[in-house]
Amino acid sequence: MKKVGAILFGETENFSFEHRMFNFSLLLGIFMTAFGAVMDVYYRVNILIDLVFVGCWVLTYYLSRVKGYFKVVSMVSFGVFVFAFFPYNWISSGGSTSVLPYYAIAFIAIICIILSGCFRIIMVLSMLAVELLLICMDARNADMLNAIGYQNMNRWDLSIHLCVIMVAMAVLIIVYSNTYMNEKARSEKYARTIEEHYQQQFYYMENLEALIYKLKAERHDFNNHLGVIYGLLEGRETDKAGDYTRKLVNAAEEFQNMVYIPYPILRAMLNYKLSSAKEANISLKLNVHIPGELKINEFDVTVILGNLLDNAMEACAAMEEEGRYIDLSILYKPDYLVVRIENPRGEEPVLPEGKIGTTKKDIDNHGFGLKNIEYLVNKHHGLIKIQRENGIFKVNIAILTD
């Protein structure tokens, strides 16, 4: 049954509750209108209007379920329903003496469940106004207003009670659905926050493990280098020892780009990332000046800079070696920590200016890094500006310090 429901109404992962209810209501409307057409054939009544409405609901279902035009189609279709379909069926089925007034209660409920906001209020009031107008027309035709006949007065009284019931049901459903949607939005926001925090912690721990591994490897290599130098000197091969030492000094030039800031977590991550960039033959231009007394969330800033450097290094990896570079600037301006990063970009994502996106194929995983940047910047009441021009990618971030 779940598979059938997913095919007919839409998958829960891709379609909202209101969208699926709308598709269900359309299928129900198609069935009921077609059934009415069959009954009209039996009673030898013209079915042209019925067929027009069946075609209208089928087209609406196609646009909603297949094309996904839920918002636009729902507004148009409810307008057609309230101002054309309902009055036509009211008049053709006998008006207030038929069963249609009872169906109107269900119609009001469907409107309240599927629609939202001001448009829902407008449609509910329109539905009530149309029905009251139709009741008044029936009353005039039956001379109810002149109080002719006890049976006619009961019919008028019943219609008024039905309108009151519909108003009460509309208010009840609107209040309930608004409360439900607010709770649902709050729960989804909380779940997203938890997921984002988890991704941030996972990212940090993953980089911390890589940093520890690199430090252990460097310590092991350092001991080996000392052993080689000691062996050469012990064997009085001073020239070879000098050459070997010279090579080590040249290899150690990468530490000229080491960042020295009074924030240990941030310093460790930056030096690890910059060392990795140097190994990938990426030219580095650094301008890092941060005072030690800033009250910043070091963990969040580490995640922001780590993701920025990851994106820059991956973009450089797709370039020729001579064109690889990262220009990183981290400065303090009054009340703001300002971060600027620039790198070449081979593949330009088709996005509006200032929007965050990814050109990577693994969008589900890589999207979290980009989302984390925007989420954390907004969390600290900051600003972010993204520029793409002439094959260069620039990100400017200002984070409000406490």
Question: Taking every pair of C-alpha atoms in the chain, what is the biggest distance, in angstroms?
Answer: 130
Fold of 258-402: Heat Shock Protein 90 (3.30.565)
- The two tokens of residue 264 are 């240990």
How many percent of the chain have pLDDT more than 90? Answer: 20
Residues of the chain with CATH 3.30.565.10: 258-402
pLDDT at 80 over 90: yes
Tens of pLDDT, residue by residue over 307-335, are 899 889 999 998 888 889 999 999 999 88
Crossing angle for the helix pair 363-379 and 150-234, nearest 10 degrees? Answer: 100
- Rounded distance, CA 30 to CA 35, Å? 8
Q: Tell me, what DSSP letter sits at residue 129?
A: H
pLDDT at 365 over 70: no
pLDDT at 354 over 50: no
Asked if 300 and 379 count as a contact pair (C-beta separation under 8 A), the reply is yes
* Residue 396 confidence (pLDDT): 94
- The two tokens of residue 20 are 């699926």
Q: Which pLDDT band, with edges at 50, 70 and 90, does 77 fall under?
A: very high
* Residue 244 confidence (pLDDT): 82
Asked if 197 and 189 count as a contact pair (C-beta separation under 8 A), the reply is no
* Residue 64 confidence (pLDDT): 94
List strand residue ranges (DSSP E) for 207-335, in order.
Answer: 283-289, 325-333
Tens of pLDDT, residue by residue over 30-50, are 988 898 888 888 888 888 998
| Burial track 90-103 (b if 16+ CB lie within 10 A, e otherwise) | bebeebbeeebbee
* Residue 58 confidence (pLDDT): 95
Tens of pLDDT, residue by residue over 277-300, are 888 899 888 899 898 888 888 888
Which of 127-131, 146-150, 343-347 comes out lowest in average pLDDT? 146-150
CA-CA distances (angstroms) from residue 331 to 45, 104, 257, 307, 337?
Answer: 81, 66, 16, 18, 6
